[in-house]
Amino acid sequence: MGDSPGSARRPGTAAPRDLVSAAPTGAVPFAAVTLDDVAGHVDKPQRAVTRRDVARWLVSTPGAAESLPELRRELMAVGLPLTAAFWTSAKDLLDSIDAGQATIGEVTRWLEATGSEPTKIIGLHVWDPAEWDRRPRARGLYDELVGHLETLVRSGAIDPDRLLSGDSEALSAYVAEQERWLSEPAGDGGSRMDTLLDEADDEFLVDWDAAEAEYLAELEDLLTGLGERPCPQEELHAATGRLRAGLASGGFPYDLLASGAGLSPRALPASERELWLSLAAGVVEPADEPPDSYGPEELSSWYALGHVDWLCAVWELARRGVGASAEGGDLAGYVATSDLVEDDVDPDDVEVLAAGFRTVTELWRALGAVEDDGRLTPLGWWGLPEALRRAWTAADGT
């Protein structure tokens, strides 16, 4: 359950209207659209304005349908008549937007049918719809791709009217051309797509580290009020003895514990405390991919657990103390009812959380943090918060 960052509208920049809450017919303010408006917005001479430029400005202007006849005459006067299919579709779409009936998907498909609007999803990459939300390298490549597509439109290699009609062959070729262009080498030796994905990964890791630092600080604040939680040495000794034997023999759940900690069963830490915390931290943030014997769907709910889920679950166990239930359904309930979660949790999300935590409970049982009956042990009361600390400080080496 993660929160995705919102996007703000940059002052002074036109943005598409909110189609979901568009005003009903009769309540849409009229704003005249002229060729000067379009050319000025894209900083081009009037004769260089493209079909995409016109389309994007139209959908960003309330009541723009009223301006279509005059705008069409202005474009004809400078030798850019566009086509009857464009003007008919523009009128239909703009009327639908002003009536509050158009969907974002319909507007997106209409813009892409201009022949030079990049398809939103290409391979593994998703273009941010707003220019100011795109990462620097993505912004540059997006503009280059637009220029490439505009060249193909001018040459006749891309026919926007075929795209507008929903011609399946033309639509497939349009996507394929973008994929081909993005697969070409970039300046660093990799492809343009590699550049996009690498930049996205870099940003994700920065955001991830920042989130971990924030949640770690909150965890520390919460634990301060609990006082000392001594490590039960005898339980730790017994648990690590069982773990060494289990890791040597392999199989579930020891293979998942080993891959999560990034440890080889043949080279385990000598320290009992280091071994246990490494394995327990790997449950929170697995270091390596699971063994091939596990399918992706089998562990997806576990991997989907987010920072706030771990914080709520571990904090509730620490607060409730030895004997608290650590069964998957109860852990999900701790998250759903926690004061640390700002918004209500959807019942469907609770089911996903429970599925993920059921895997966690099995791993915690093997660690000795949870009894066979699903109750928290003294080792778990000490160790699970420490493991969460370990997982969330691993990135900066502390």
- Tens digit of pLDDT for each residue in 269-292? 999 999 999 999 999 999 898 988
The pLDDT score that the predictor gives to residue 188 is 67
The pLDDT score that the predictor gives to residue 395 is 45
- Examine residue 296 and say whether the peptide bond preceding it is cis (omega within 30 degrees of 0): no
Q: Is the pLDDT of residue 15 over 50?
A: no
Across the range 302-325, mean pLDDT stands at: 94
Sign of the four-CA dihedral 5, 6, 7, 11: negative
The rounded distance, in Å, linking the Cα atoms of 54 and 111 is 10
The pLDDT score that the predictor gives to residue 3 is 41
The pLDDT score that the predictor gives to residue 169 is 96
The pLDDT score that the predictor gives to residue 27 is 46
Band (pLDDT 50/70/90 cuts) for residue 175 is very high
Sign of the four-CA dihedral 369, 373, 378, 382: positive
In the chain, which residue ranges form alpha helices assigned H by DSSP?
Answer: 35-42, 51-59, 68-77, 84-98, 104-112, 136-155, 160-164, 168-183, 192-224, 233-249, 254-261, 272-284, 296-303, 307-320, 328-336, 347-367, 378-393
Model pTM score:
0.56
Compute the mean pLDDT over every residue in the chain, rounded to the nearest whole number: 85
Report the percent of the chain where pLDDT is more than 90: 61
Q: Determine the residue type at 264.
A: S
3-state secondary structure of 289: coil
The pLDDT score that the predictor gives to residue 341 is 75
Q: How many residues comprise the chain? A: 398
The rounded distance, in Å, linking the Cα atoms of 347 and 13 is 39
Burial class (CB in 10 A: 0-12, 13-18, 19+), 221: exposed
The pLDDT score that the predictor gives to residue 359 is 95
Let me know: does 285 contact 395? Beta carbons within 8 Å: no
Across the range 29-33, mean pLDDT stands at: 69
Boundaries of every domain in the chain: 13-114, 226-396
Q: Is the pLDDT of residue 377 over 90?
A: yes
Name beta bridge partners: 7: none
The pLDDT score that the predictor gives to residue 206 is 65
Band (pLDDT 50/70/90 cuts) for residue 211 is confident
The pLDDT score that the predictor gives to residue 20 is 30
